[in-house]
Amino acid sequence: MAEERRYCLDTNVFIEGWNKYYSMDLCPTYWTILDQLAQQDRVFAPIEVKREITQHDDGLAGWIKTRPYLFKEITIEVQEYLREIMAKYNRLVDSTRQRSIADPWVIAHAMAEKAIVVTKEMPAGPNSRRVKIPDVCSALNFPWIDDFQLAREIGIQFSAHLANGSA
């Protein structure tokens, strides 16, 4: 039997999902599925993603705090990949604005765990001074997808119904 694919999630997959596409009031089952996949070690995120999310005291931070199994700690192998990434792509992190701090960690953890990077980011483009996760992944010939592709690959299907049960 083929080994199931694993996925390393970027911070924006959680934040945008929670606040927009898969908000808890519209798609609670999405979060149940994500939780089950985390318990099976099919989806995970670096501990740095948890740090970014828990900087705000909101519903997502509360949900995250009760799921320590979702987050991977830093290992020597992750540190080695991180060093390689930052040596070539130091603009991946915007340290002056304290943005994208977890981005290199997402890639490094995915590389160490042989997982696919999942991010809401799109490539920055050839004329941009910014470097984004997809740019680095593409340059390193490392797989990345967005959360919609993740849903397709895992087989998540959404259905709609009226909350009060009437039609």
The structural domain count of the chain equals 1
Residue 160 lies in a domain: no
pLDDT of 158 reads 86
Judged on CB neighbours under 10 Å (0-12, 13-18, 19+), 107 is buried
Residue 14 lies in a domain: yes
Residue 82 lies in a domain: yes
Residue 40 lies in a domain: yes
Residue 139: which domain range?
A: 7-154
pLDDT of 97 reads 53
Q: Which two tokens stand for residue 41?
A: 């070690």
CATH number at residue 18: 3.40.50.1010
pLDDT of 167 reads 55
**CB neighbour list of residue 141: distance below 8 Å, 6 or more residues apart:** none
Residue 28 lies in a domain: yes
Contact yes or no for 81/110 (Cβ under 8 A): no
- The answer to whether the predicted template modeling score (pTM) of the entire model surpasses 0.85 is yes
Q: How far apart are CA 55 and CA 4, in angstroms?
A: 32
Calculate the alpha carbon distances from 158 to 28, 37, 105, 112, 148 in Å.
11, 16, 30, 32, 11
pLDDT in tens, the chain (167 residues): 346 899 999 999 999 999 998 999 899 999 999 999 999 999 999 999 999 999 888 899 999 999 999 999 999 999 999 999 999 998 887 655 555 689 999 999 999 999 999 999 999 877 777 889 999 999 999 999 999 999 999 999 888 878 776 65
Residue 167 lies in a domain: no
Residue 32 lies in a domain: yes
Residue 92 lies in a domain: yes
